[in-house]
Amino acid sequence: SSDVLEAIENVIQDVLKSLAQKKAPVLTLAKRSDWRNVEFKDSVGLQMTPRYTTKQIRSDCPRSAPTFALMLKILSMIYKMVQSNTYATKRDIYYSDTQLFGSQSVVDNIINDISCMLKIPRRSLHILSTTKGFVAGNLIYTEEDGTKVNCTCSATAVTVPSNVQGIKNLISHAKFMLIVEKDATFQRLLDDDFCNKLSPCIMITGRGVPDLNTRLLVRKLWDSFKIPIFTLMDADPHGVEIMCIYKYGSVSMSFEAHHLTVPSVKWLGLLPSDLERLNIRKDALIPFSKQDQTKLASIQKRPYIACQPMWKKELEIMAASKLKAEIQVLTSLSSDYLSRVYLPNKLQFGGWI
């Protein structure tokens, strides 16, 4: 915590120095969402380059002055929380003055910019994000406050903890981990008792694009158990994008790649080639929208696709057919096809890439 306080004090001293010299204070930030500031490394995923381009948040420019003020406001809130060893969620910060902040996304962006500027992970800033992910299966752990959590598969899942760094005493006999894109599929697999039927496993869902805590938990479980991690996504560009976030990270959070990515993640399904192999009826598939085409084209150009020839092939099948499918399409074969046939066969015969 003394590192965090010192980092914030340095920023404020620079502001005071500028004022003493009768200059307008400026905050310098990395351009987090710029692909040119990101490099791809096989063992890490997308990480920020050491020499990145920056932007300035000036206090004397009408366009950036409000952002400058909000950054100082949030820095002062972080400083107080670290000093008093208290925590707040991003929502708490927004609701402390909704008029001032204007929207939750403004707060989220500033917090990520501050984390990147100070080179300190968000958790160390005492800011927790609200969790939306679920975990179930063969896993027991203790939360920071001493609460014991048992995720052993039952009809209900456990919410991903909001302070993943604080969990300890992780115990599991799971043979693999399954990341499921959507909540509906996750719940269906829970109902079918999938975690216990085949062999003990851990299931996780970020319920769409994963939040930070879900990604941190996947990484923590990988560091703890080093078991295979498979993803179950829709066969569409959006599903591929989500899988890439778990595996390689995202551009805007590339400054934290080392804590968030798991490059060993495997694509289990739903593969575009599966649709043909299983003779899925054409009328059960969904035609591409313009947005799908744009997203797929952008994914195909990404640096990590070049080192994944099998993925490249699957994306080419998708691009050629201009058709997508949700995992639910498997129910057209039989209601429990996913848990009874599809997943057991894939896991037994190595049907992942």
Active site residues: 95
Is residue 86 exposed (0-12), middle (13-18) or buried (19+ Cβ within 10 Å)?
exposed
Strands 140-142 and 158-159: unpaired
Counting Cα atoms < 13 Å in the Cβ hemisphere of 87 gives: 13
C-alpha pair distances (Å), 11 with each of 57, 110, 327: 13, 15, 49
One-character DSSP codes across 116-163: HHHT--GGGGTEEPPP--EEEES-EEE-TTS-EEE--SSSSPEEPPS-
Asked if 158 and 307 touch (Cβ cutoff 8 Å), the reply is no
Strands (E), 163-245: 168-171, 176-180, 201-205, 229-232
Burial class of residue 20, CB neighbours in 10 A (0-12, 13-18, 19+): exposed
Pairing assessment for the beta strands 176-180 and 201-205 based on DSSP bridges:
parallel
Residue 126 backbone class (left: φ over 0; alpha: ψ -120 to 50; beta: rest)? left
CA nearest to 248, candidates 315, 294, 307, 201: 307
3-state secondary structure of 168: strand
Q: Output phi, psi for 47, to 5 deg.
A: -130, 155
